[in-house]
Amino acid sequence: MLIGVCDFPGDYLFPPKGYGGIERWLWATAVGGRRAGAQVHLLGPLWRRELSDDWTVRPFRLEDLAKDDACARDLRATGYDLLVVGHEYPSVDAWRATWEMLDADVATFQHEPHFRHGPNSFDGRKSRLYCYSPEMCRRYAQHHPIAERAVHMGIGEIEHKAHEGRDLLWLGRIDAQKAPHHAIRAARLLGRRIVVAGPTFDPTYVNAHHELFCSDGVDMVGEVGGGDKMRLLADARVLVYSCAREYVEAGAATFGESLRAGTPVAALAWRPGTCAHVALCRQTGCVAEVGAMDDDAVVAESLAVAIEHATTLRASEVQEIGMHRFDPMHHFQVLSSRPC
């Protein structure tokens, strides 16, 4: 089976070294495809240059080939069976024009909860859209979504053998949508230290919660990647997941990353059927279910209870389940199989 995994325009290395959702999903799919025995090509000019030593990298994008008949014919002759791509592209006319010449399947994962697809972007067979949660499947019901947990990974991010960690960890982009102040409030209720790791996307949000972010027991470490990130995950006792009331999580990378590291998760959920409900079970974490009308104090108390439960879970069991539940090879095999 010959697979093309497509990058997309951005202003960072691809996949990024620390933060990233859909970029890290594309890389996990490429790795999973190779582990499954598929031949994998990386399509696009933004892949890291060092990857060309071990991977076939073709530095062009399909949407740029729509009017280049020679290149399009060469690409068709390559004989791709499947293209794995960011969710935007099946709704881009120029991209679809080239794809339709290739006679390949296309698979993508919905990482954005508000993106509008064209009416004929997916048929559920040859062109397939995958969604993490029941919540996301409902939002994209007209596009024949297929339920599947996403798997994410970065280059050089090798999991350590699971061990019981010490402090709490919050990991992600720091902004109002991800709402890490809920995690900090819960940690304060428990008198526990919490490490907050990730790039600051919204300084205004951080300033609004300045007292929390600058308080004792909170360690702001910035964006981490590679070996540093894996050590941070392995050494955490519990990963705390949070989000804002109105935010719909399309497919959080941190669930799979944490469980594969052997770190249980305490997750905040404002509604039923979220990614947290799909990613976790009683052996791997605890979901704090709250209502949209609950104030921050109630939210922190509920999240603190979830953290306390998560601290009772065994790291080795969490890692065993996580390695199975978020296995990139299995994930690729799901993506590459047409539904009956």
Residues 95 and 181 in one domain: no
CATH number for position 245:
3.40.50.2000
Residue 305 sits in the same domain as residue 193:
yes
Number of domains in the chain: 2
Could you tell me if 286 and 203 lie in one domain? yes
Q: Is residue 207 part of a domain?
A: yes
| 194 bridge partner residues | 168, 218
* 138/265 same-domain check: no
The dihedral over CA atoms of 21, 25, 28, 29, expressed in degrees to the nearest 10, equals: -170
pLDDT of residue 328: 98
The predicted pLDDT at position 317 comes to: 98
Specify burial of residue 203 (Cβ count, 10 A radius: 0-12, 13-18, 19+).
exposed
Q: In angstroms, what CA-CA distances link 222 with 162, 200, 209, 251?
A: 24, 8, 17, 22
Cα–Cα dist 323/259, whole Å:
7
Are residues 129 and 6 part of one domain?
A: yes
pLDDT score at 14: 83
Q: Cα(first)–Cα(last) distance of the chain, in Å?
A: 19
Instruction: Report pLDDT for 210.
Output: 96
Length of the chain: 340
Residue 274, pLDDT score: 98
Phi and psi at residue 12, to the nearest 5°: -145, 170
331, 212: one domain: no
User: Virtual CA dihedral for 107, 111, 116, 118, nearest 10 degrees?
Assistant: -10
pLDDT along the chain (340 residues), means of 10: 90 76 93 98 93 93 80 85 94 90 94 93 97 98 97 91 96 96 98 96 96 96 91 97 96 95 98 97 98 95 98 98 98 94
Same-domain pairing of 171 and 221: yes
How confident is the model at residue 16, as a pLDDT?
Answer: 78
Residue 340 lies in a domain: no
Domain co-membership, 205 together with 239:
yes
pLDDT of residue 75: 84
Q: Are residues 144 and 182 in the same domain?
A: no
Position 17 scores a pLDDT of: 76
